[in-house]
Structure 1
Amino acid sequence: MNWPIAVVLIVMIVAVGKVMAAKYRAQAGIIQDKQGNQQWVGKNDDPEAQREIENLRERIKVLERIATDGNSLDAKETRRISAEIEALRDKQVEKDN
């Protein structure tokens, strides 16, 4: 085997490897832009997971509001609301179990 054939074979092996890697990434929902940044674009069709994510987002909003409102004049009201939220969360946990 002479060197030009070896170079062609190496290039072909690398090309096939890159095509296969791109195929597997695409099947997993991962795309790559021109700069080489990889990004997951898969869709989550699990409605339960979507509900849980939405619930967590709502909880984060409430926690942010509690954290930022703690230094205002309505701090007592904020603590009362926080206690109510905790009580409702405890009831929900007991209900789920």
Structure 2
Amino acid sequence: MNPFEMVIGIVLIVTIGSIIRAKYGVHSGFRGRRGHDGPEFVPHDDAETKALKAEIRALKERIQVLERIATDSNRAASLDEEIEKLRDRSLP
């Protein structure tokens, strides 16, 4: 590799690194300290945290029910029949 190719390679590597850093919003600040251009971390209030935890708990319960329905073969067959009965009732 001659010196000209090495210079081109270094410039190419630095350019690609700069593009990746810009894409992810990382910049070099004063004395090389790095930061993120995104919003500052703001701790959420307790009410929002409790609401999110309750929502996650409800979603986990739903997933458990769906897993139970999917794995219980006898229940799945009767569930299909119940769904079909409900469809028949709703049709005019």
Check whether TM > 0.5.
no
Q: How does the TM-score come out when normalised to structure 2? A: 0.42
Larger Rg, first or second structure (1 or 2): 2
